Amino acid sequence: MTTTPPTPAATAVPLPAPHDNRCPFSPPPAYTEAARTSSVSRAELPDGSPCWLVTGYPEVRTVLSDRRFSADARHPAFPLFTPERRELFAENPSFIRLDDPEHARLRRMVTGDFLVKRVEAMRPGIQEIVDETLDRMTDGATEADLVGSFALPVPSLVICLLLGVPYEDREMFQSLSRTLLNTFAGVGEISRANDELLDYLGGLAAHKKEHPAEDILSRLAARDDLTLREIAATGILLLVAGHETTANMIGLSTVLLLDRPEQKAKLADPAALPGAVEELLRHTTIVHTGLPRVAVEDVELDGTLIRAGEGVFAMLSTANRDELMFGGEDRLPADDVDLDRDARRHLAFGFGVHQCLGQPLARAELQIALGTLFHRLPGLRLAVPHSELVFRPDSVVYGLKSLPVAW
C-alpha cells in the first residue's frame, strides 16, 4: 500500500457527493476516498462556500460531543446545502438545531417518553402492530412493495400512537416529511411543507389542550411553559424522525439480509437479534449526508486547525466503517455485514447531546420487525433484479423508494 501525503487545498470534496450506483449500500466514494487520506478534509457546499469534512471515528465523536461545535442553524456560518433554509430554522427551530441550555430544556420534556424501561413495556404493542401489518400485506397476496406495505406503516403506526397523531392522516404527513428531508427541494416547497406540518400539529395540540388523551402531544399541550409553536416544532421532529428513519432501516436491512443468506440464518436465534440490529445500524448508517455543525471557537482536530466560524460535516457513515474500530481477525471487513460483530460502539444514532432520543424505540421496532418478517416469510425474496431497486440519494435519510418482494 502506498501512502499519499494529504493535499488538503488541492481538491475540496463536493457536498453532498453522489453515491456509486454499483455500491448503493456504501457511503459516496468521495467520502470514503477522503477518509482514506485524512480524518479531516476540505469540502465545498453547493453554493461554493468552503467547509470541513470529518470522516474519522474519534474525530466524528469529538465534533459531535465538544461544545466548541454548535448545532445552532441560526448561526450565519452554519453549513447548509441550501442556505435559503436558514430563515426557516430561525423562525421555528426544533431542538435538534439548538444548543444547550435551550436544547436541553425542550428535549427533556420528551425524553421521559423514550426510557429504555418504557420502550420495553411497549414491545407487546409493537409486536401486535408488526403482526397485523404482515397479516394485511400477505392476505391473499404473494408479492408486495415492502416499503409501502410494511417498512413505512410499522413505525408510522407506532409514532402516531405515541404522539397522538391520527394514522388516517399518514399520506399527508408522510409526503410532507419526504419533502422536508429532500436535500434538493426548493426553499418555497420546504417552507410550505414545514408550515403545513406546523399548522397541522399546532392544531392537534390546541385540540388536545381541551380534550387531552394519553399521548405526548396532550402532555405537551397541558404545560404552561411551552408555546403551541414550540410543541408543533417538537411534534414535527418526533413525527419525521419517528417514521422515516426506522422505515428506511427496515427496507435497506431486508435487502442486505436477502443478499446474504448465511447472515440471515443467524436471525433464527432470537438472542442474536439485538446484536444483529446494532450491526445493521452500523453498516447502513442511513444519515449518509452527515451531521452539520459550526465551530464557535478555534479547534485543532487531528492536526488540522478548524477556525471559529467554519462549518463542519461529521460523517457518521465513514466513521462507522472504520476498520480499526470494527474490523478484527475473526470478523468480515467493516465494509461488509457481519452479524456476529460487536457493533455497539457505532455512531448511527449520532453522538453528543443531540444523539437520537428515540433510539430505544428504534431498536425495539427493528428487532421486532426484522425478526418477525424473516420468521414468518422464510421464502422472502426480491421480486425484481437487484439493479432495478430505486434508492433515494436525494434524501437526508437514505433508503429505498420502493422494495418489490415476493414470498
Partner 1 sequence: MQVSVDRDRCCSSGLCALNAPEIFDQDEQDGRVMLRQTVFRPGQFADIRLAGELCPCGAITVTEGVSPADGTADAQAGTGS
Applying CB under 8 A, which residues contact partner 1? 64-65, 104, 107-109, 111-112, 114-117, 344-345, 349-357, 359-360, 363
What interhelical angle do 153-163 and 359-376 show, nearest 10? 140
Contact call for residues 407 and 381 (beta carbons, < 8 A):
yes
Q: Which is nearer to partner 1, 125 or 360 (CB)?
A: 360
Give me the least distance between CB of 116 and partner 1, in Å please. 4
DSSP character at residue 13: E
Between vectors from CA 127 to CA 125 and to CA 130, what angle results, nearest 5°? 115
Spatial strand order in the sheet of 404-406: 143-145, 404-406, 381-382
In the bound state with partner 1, the residue whose beta carbon lies nearer, of 114 and 173, is 114
The amino acid at residue 177 is S
Task: Kindly state the smallest distance separating residue 67's Cβ from partner 1, in Å.
Answer: 10
Residue 158 and residue 365: Cα distance in Å, rounded? 9
If the CB atoms of residues 8 and 328 are measured against partner 1, the closer one turns out to be: 328
Shortest Å distance, C-beta 123 to partner 1: 14
Q: Which three cell numbers stand for residue 122?
A: 411497549
Judged by CB, which is closer to partner 1: 288, or 363? 363
Q: What is the SS3 string spanning 150-212? A: HHCHHHHHHHHHHHCCCHHHHHHHHHHHHHHHECCCCHHHHHHHHHHHHHHHHHHHHHHHHCC
**Pick 24 or 58: Cβ nearer partner 1:** 58
- The nearer residue to partner 1, 304 or 359, going by C-beta atoms, is 359
Q: How far is the CB of 11 from partner 1 (least distance, A)?
A: 32
Burial class (CB in 10 A: 0-12, 13-18, 19+), 69: buried
- Closest by CA position to 308, among listed 58, 62, 77: 77
**Which string of DSSP letters, residue by residue, matches 20-80?**
PTT-TTSPPHHHHHHHHH-SEEEEE-TTS-EEEEE-SHHHHHHHHH-TTEE--TTSTT---
Q: Residue 352 or 399: which CB sits closer to partner 1?
A: 352
- Measured between alpha carbons, how far is 407 from 399 in angstroms, rounded to an integer? 22
Report the nearest approach of partner 1 to the CB of residue 118 (Å).
9
CB of 51 to partner 1, least distance (A): 23
User: Which of 7/111 has CB closer to partner 1?
Assistant: 111
CB of 108 to partner 1, least distance (A): 4
Smallest separation (angstroms) from partner 1 to the CB of 355:
4
The three three-digit cell numbers of residue 132, written as one number: 397485523
